[in-house]
């Protein structure tokens, strides 16, 4: 019946270092019935928040990082190499990080029952990949550039080309799912998801860079994208290595 005198602090919304989008972003219609409306209770970093799952080599199989070699035939589309580093907020590389990605095919269609976009599926493309970062925090995927596709958010709405990325970081607080975009996409000004990140510099960090050095002659275009992980403010507990 009685409530303790001690209360935990609350915050209207949780935005790590001012970079995350607000929960409630009206232009993105999907938020309207889903984004929580009550203030968030701030938890201090307890062991629950400052630890997190870790995955090793066994989580990744051959061809997981090459989405063009997961079927007997090669997928249609512009072949690309995607490389970058995963860093902590202190700038240190995060090694052994599991990265999971998923994307549409070159025609802008996902291999998913809910995607009814009138564009062809590609029997040679599943659109899912995984890899682990190396000792320098580096990752590398080979895939095809995903197509732009329409969605029903507003009249004539199209998503900029993007690849979904999922990462764990060193702690529960650092878990991140985000999207990587391609440079100079003409749809940026019209996309409420991309523009949900209010800070211009932070928004720019979602966009990969074309890299001629990474581009392989007669084979694939190269794009570079670094990912920086961190929680609100807490420092994760010391990393445990089991190798």
Partner 1 sequence: MTEAPGLTPSQTAGPYLSIGLLRELVPTALVAPDDPGAVRIHGRLLDGAGDPVTDGMVEIWQADEEGRYGDEAFPGFGRAGTQDDGRFAFVTVKPGRVAWPDGGLQAPHLAVGVFARGLLKRVVTRIYFPDEEDANAVDPVLSALTAEQRATLVAVPDDGGLRFDIHLQGHAETTFFAV
The single residue of 25, 79, 109, 110 carrying the catalytic annotation is 110
Task: Annotate each residue in 80-119 with x if it binds partner 1 (CB under 8 A) or - if it does not, as one string.
Answer: -------x-xxx--------xxx-------xxx-xx----
Strand-strand pairing, 221-224 and 79-88: parallel
Tell the smallest beta-carbon distance from residue 172 to partner 1 (Å): 5
Among 106, 107, 161, 206, indicate the residue that binds partner 1 (CB under 8 A): 206
167 neighbors 151 (Cβ within 8 angstroms): no
Size, binding site for partner 1 by CB under 8 A: 88
Contact flag: residue 175 with partner 1 (CB under 8 A) = yes
Any bridge partners for residue 144, and if so which? 79
What span, in angstroms and rounded, lies between the C-alpha atoms of 94 and 199? 25
Residues in region 133-162 near partner 1 by CB under 8 A: none
Contact flag: residue 125 with partner 1 (CB under 8 A) = no
Give yes or no: 110 in active site: yes
137 neighbors 95 (Cβ within 8 angstroms): yes
Contact flag: residue 78 with partner 1 (CB under 8 A) = no
Contact flag: residue 229 with partner 1 (CB under 8 A) = yes
182 neighbors 120 (Cβ within 8 angstroms): no
Helix (H, G, I), strand (E, B) or coil at 139: strand
Tell the smallest beta-carbon distance from residue 154 to partner 1 (Å): 15
Among 69, 71, 95, 164, indicate the residue that binds partner 1 (CB under 8 A): 164
What span, in angstroms and rounded, lies between the C-alpha atoms of 206 and 176? 13
Tell the smallest beta-carbon distance from residue 218 to partner 1 (Å): 30
140 backbone dihedrals φ, ψ, rounded to 5°: -155, 125
Q: Is 218 left (phi over 0), alpha (psi -120 to 50) or beta?
A: left
The single residue of 159, 170, 181, 194 carrying the catalytic annotation is 159
Residues in region 13-42 near partner 1 by CB under 8 A: 14, 16-17, 19-23, 25, 28, 30-38, 40-42
What span, in angstroms and rounded, lies between the C-alpha atoms of 1 and 4? 10
Contact flag: residue 231 with partner 1 (CB under 8 A) = yes
The single residue of 28, 139, 149, 181 carrying the catalytic annotation is 149
Contact flag: residue 203 with partner 1 (CB under 8 A) = yes
- Any idea which residues carry the catalytic annotation? 110, 149, 159, 162, 164
């Amino acid at each position: 019946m009685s409530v303790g005198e001690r209360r935990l602090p609350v915050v209207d919304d949780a935005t790590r270092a001012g970079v995350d989008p607000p929960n409630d972003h009206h232009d993105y219609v999907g938020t309207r019935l889903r984004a929580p409306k009550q203030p968030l209770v701030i938890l201090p970093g307890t062991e629950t928040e400052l630890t997190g799952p870790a995955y090793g080599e066994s989580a990744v199989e051959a061809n997981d990082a090459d989405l063009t070699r997961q079927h007997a035939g090669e997928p249609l589309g512009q072949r690309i190499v995607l490389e970058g580093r995963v860093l902590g907020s202190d700038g240190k590389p995060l090694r052994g990080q599991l990265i999971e990605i998923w994307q549409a095919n070159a025609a802008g269609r996902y291999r998913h029952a809910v995607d009814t976009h009138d564009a062809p599926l590609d029997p040679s493309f599943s659109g899912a990949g995984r890899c682990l970062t190396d000792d320098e925090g580096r990752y590398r995927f080979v895939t095809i550039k995903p197509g732009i596709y329409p969605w029903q958010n507003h009249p004539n709405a199209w998503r900029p080309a993007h690849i979904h990325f999922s990462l764990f970081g060193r702690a529960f607080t650092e878990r991140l799912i985000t999207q990587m975009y391609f440079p100079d996409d003409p749809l940026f000004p019209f996309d409420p998801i991309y523009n949900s990140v209010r800070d211009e510099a932070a928004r720019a960090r979602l966009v990969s860079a074309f890299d001629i050095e990474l581009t392989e002659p007669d084979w694939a275009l190269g794009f570079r994208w670094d990912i920086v992980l961190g929680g609100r403010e807490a420092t994760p507990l010391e990393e445990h290595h089991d190798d």
